[in-house]
Structure 1
Amino acid sequence: MSREEPDPEFEDLIHHIQQSRGVDFRGYKRTSLRRRILLRMQEVGAESFAAYQAFLEVHPQEFVELLNTVLINVTSFFRDAEAWEILRDEVVPHILARCEPDEPIRVWSVGCASGEEPYSMAILFAEALGLNEFCRRVKIYATDLDDHALAIARHASYGEREVEGVPPALLAKYFENTNGSYVVLRELRKSVIFGRHNVVFDAPISRIDLLSCRNLLIYLETDTQNVVLPRLHYALQDDGYLFLGKAETQLARSKLFRPLNSRHRIFSKVPQEWRRSAGGSLLASADPRDAGPAQQLKMLESIIDNVPTAHLVVDLAGTLIFANMTARRMLEVGEADIGRPFQDLPISYRPSELRSRIDLVRAELKPVHLESQEFLRPSATPMRLAIDIVPLIERNGDIYATLLTFIDNTRIDQLQRELEATQESLETTIEELQSANEELETTNEELQSTNEELETTNEELQSTNEELETMNEELRSTAEEMEASNEELRQQSEDATRYRTHSESILRSINTGIVVLDTDLTVRSWNRWSENTWGMRADEVIGQPFLSLEIGLPVHLLENGLQDVILRGDTESERVLSGVDRRGRSVTCRIRLSPLLYQSHAVHGVVLIAEDITEQVEREEYTRQLGRLVGQSLNEVYFLEPTSLRFLLVNKGAEKKLGYSLAQLRQFALTDFMPDVPASAVQNLVATIVQGDKAEVVFETRIKSASGASYPAEICMQYFGKESPPVVLALLHDTTERQLLDS
């Protein structure tokens, strides 16, 4: 029964996985492999193998999920406990017994997944040897294709569920409980070496005492199993042990291993002898006497199937009688094509016409070599093949078949083309470099000329630099002088600011109106007294024509005086104006107009000083009125000099009573008219008011007039020391009538 034709898209996907991740699934059972890949395709929604390949190219993280699905990492500590007990009780003691005390012990766990199995091996040997001796002698190699699983294994941290198979005593002894996770002891971890390895294609690890390959062979094709088992056999010591899974029965009839415990799939290695067949091939058998022609043919086919080159054999009748595994995969030749006429197969004319060349080889009995033949495959990338057609000749010299060997030189051809392209590019580059070199020589000459010019320029620049340094020193000196000037100006500015502030403060504090006008009679300054008196703020009047201000004062009457001051410059004028202040009170102001002069003595405006003399005018008027009344009074009123009591001023009544004029009276003292009173007594009384002991003195005496007659009088004296000059006021009242009434 012929095998199912391969699906080109599926095979391309397998090839892509191998190229991208180095995982070769060619030896896996196609049915199982296809089923697991389809599971991932359903998960991501890919409808075909080509679509899934495109998805992998765009989403490389999908490789992790794919490998986790295909490489089923089902494992646990001490899985199948009875089998591990046999290892502990029979296999491990035997290994320790036949090894020398210092001889290393090597263990290999193939398909170790997340590490439970190799760590179980480590615990077995640590229990048998003791931890220190185990660390010194035992090396455990643990390999797998799944990088993610290997990362977990190296971390050696497992959950409570994952360590259920570990006996409690061993769990406490060889694990550390950290944050709810169980971590394998560091000493055990150091003895377990994890690595990525493909047991189908990679070279096996050698000199192994115990090899565990559990539940891996069941996923491989029979042909691939036939490749793997000899590799496992080769890896073991002559008395080494192989530990398989319960479902693996491939060694039931194998001559490479003998069962130690068939139920639990524990085998020991059967040493093999290697010999050469009549054709020169190496054949292995458990007993050299058992190696017959059939066995030799089987071994020969196995070897040819596993070489990396494709081989076809065509007999003299033109029938394809052999195609190795590489040829079936590379040239798309199926098992159904074996026995068919070679000329009916596409490979007979693609990539090159081979039928005529086979005839030529048969006729001339000479090999033919075809180089770099392009092989176009409908479902895969094109290839470049080197083809050798060789006659197969019997010992008697007769040809009995033709061997066609196909070598994939795609990469070599690609490298050759790249090399040729690179060589052409280099030649072009060399020509460009030569041209560039000539240009550089020309440029070099120009640069030399330019260099000479630059040297000349440099000398000029040095001279200029010296001049600039001299100028810089001068500028530095000037800068220092300017800094000093700036400091002086700053000081002057501060002084001016202080002076201005001081002046403004004085102007605000003076209880007199001060208004500064320019030559156009525009207000330039307006102090606080002016604001308070006329009810207009400075910001309202500054900049306004003075004569147009309505401030309750008839300022238009000052126009002529202002013009005179501006025109003459050295004159001052004064006027008294009456007006109304902001409260509606009548005021009388004395206005003084002075020129505003600067150092040049040029007139820059007018300073108007307004003084409120309302009370002064009222007092003067009152004084005049009082003087008139006192002067016309019939009572005698004397103003005396405080020390001598000489007459300074008298009213009309005094002149009439005394019989002297004012001019005459100024020659006398008051005491001259009081013959009955000593002058010193009167002066003593006056002294009391002058010194402030009394406010006034009142006494009675007789006054003698110019006619010689005398009359009684009462005199009241007061001292006014604040007057200029100080005076004593004496009010004299004639008491003649009062005395008559009293009598």
Structure 2
Amino acid sequence: MTKKADTPDSDFSNLIHHIQESRGIDFRGYKRTSLERRIRRRMEEVGCDDFTSYHAFLEAHPQEFINLLNTVLINVTSFFRDKDAWEVLRTDVVPRILERKGSTGHIRIWSVGCASGEEPYSLAMLFAEALGTPEFCRRVKIYATDLDEEALNTARHATYAARDVDSVPEPLLERYFERTGNHYVFQRELRKCVIFGRHNVVSDAPISRIDLLICRNLLIYLEADTQNVVLPRLHYALVNDGFLFLGKAETQLARSRMFEPIDLKSRIFTKVPREWRRSQGGGLALAADAHGGRANQQNRLLESIVDNSAAAYLAVNIDGQLIFANAPARRLFDVEENDIGRPFQDLTISYRPAELRSRIEEVRTSGRTVRIEHQPFSRPGIEPTHLTIEVSLLYGRDGKPFATLMSFVNTSRLFLLQQEVDAAQESLETTIEELQSSNEELETTNEELQSTNEELETTNEELQSTNEELETMNEELRSTNEELEVANEEMRRQGEEASEYKQYSESILRSIDAGIIVLDDNMIVRSWNRWSENVWGLRTEEVVGESFLDLDIGLPVLHLRRALHDTLTNRVAAEPLELEAMDRRGRRIDCRIRLSPLLHHKDTYGAVLIIEDVTERTRADAFARYLGRIIGRSLNEVYVLDPATFHFQLVNRGGEAKLGHSLDALRQIALHELMPDIDAVTFGELVAPLLSGEKDEIVFETRIESGHQPARPVEMCMQYFAQEQPPVLVAIAHDTAKRQSIGSFDGRREAASD
């Protein structure tokens, strides 16, 4: 990128005018070469070739103003910069100011071009060391102004890096700074006494009644004409015998008539009081001196300054005549040209906006300045305002007052701000009280948190103990789990066995040649085996869940009601019952029914019916009884013996008669005991083949005793019925004596025939 060598002056002037119109910053008094060099540096950074394009860039990018101001307004500063000069200030100037102000007078200090605040805070430490912090806060006000708003914000925060405070003596650093991390924060009490604000010393009205004014390294950037405007403003701002502290490179005051050097090397000056006069244009100017040409130039400058000031000024001589009114005063109070020279008391301004005649008299009598804050003022054609009025004396070279000066500053905005500040102060006080209350609550909360922390520590210990117990319990659970696995395996095995047993039981029930019916305690059928299905013709699924007494089968179930009720109630088995029934084919059958309670831990859960088909048995029993009757009446001797002891168990009537003993007596006797020819051993050997199954029948002859009768011969026929329960040994005795008699008779008959 190449720069244009010949930039028209009009383009540069238009740019400077645009900056003034947009931001209120007047660079017209700055040295052209320095100002142009810094602006071009910024133009190169944003890529603009000429002032016109940079002008357009500023209009399109308003944020560029901040970067431009940071480039033009070089904020090079530090704490106690040029230590030797500050030492002179501490040892010579500060004591003189304190001596002049006495023990109660207020001290006003102005730091022009304060940048990021190091300079005003250095002043604060200097005076705090001399007065002490409480007295400093009560008596000292430091006004710190600059054009750079960003630098002012930095100054208001009063927070600096470690490298920024290297030049601060260690005792002052410890006393007036608080370290926060890697930064240092200036003491809050002193910071409240430093008032920061944006101010252009070239165009804005100066702050008045200043005891010490510091304007270091600012004038060197201004053109000579601009310096001639600024210096009278600085002169006006200072009180008589006030002090001005400039930078080392600033030599403008070496031959000035407005200031006298206190220490030229350190650039410390004191104000030379000058008389005020009214210029031809109605402005405020210094009286002429021997240097006529120079004085006229300064007078013109002062006249221009006063007329262009935002404040209105009136002056009344010792005779009470109005001798001066600057342009703002003429506009504000409608003062005409012919009012100059008239008695002040005849003018409306003497009593409106405030009673000024008595104030002028008070100032002349006491010699002290009178100040009226925020006086309301209104008149037709202008908006109502609030004015701050100062009435003070003007002194000549001889030190005598020659006029009274009245200044009127529009403080409407300040008044509103003050109201807002008061409201904010009240709100702040309320907030402080709330914060104090919150702080107390926080302290209480902190104590509660400490208590909670202790409880948590106790809980933690308990949890650790619980954890140990849980670990022990875990071991126990692991062991229990293993036992449960073993038990589960055992239960699984038992379940399999139970399943097998159930299948086995069902197989048994199916295989039993009898009907087995299980009822619950309400006589509802719960089990129905295969025999019951085959005999009664009803399947299991048809009867399970049905009332037994309601079943329509060939069995007269109603005849069992009472027996079932007794069994369920008394928990004892009923006597077997025999009933006639009809099977599913209509065949008549005889049933033997046994009822037993179904018990579980002595509680009745139902009943079990066992039904047997005893039709054949009944017939056999009847036939057996029939045979028994025949055998019992038979004259042949029939003995039923115990196969183990051979004792008589049953004997028919013929046997009892022949043997001559009762049945009870015979049951105590073995058969071989009635055989005199056979002993027990021989008898056992005789019947052994029969008992072993080798023979079905044995027949032998012997003698048998009959009561008190001689033994009689008999033929004994014996059979063993092993299949009977219990097994029995049956013996049939035939009396052979009669057979022999018959044989003898037959022999005799045959012999007779022969």
TM-score, normalisation: structure 2: 0.44
TM-score, normalisation: structure 1: 0.45
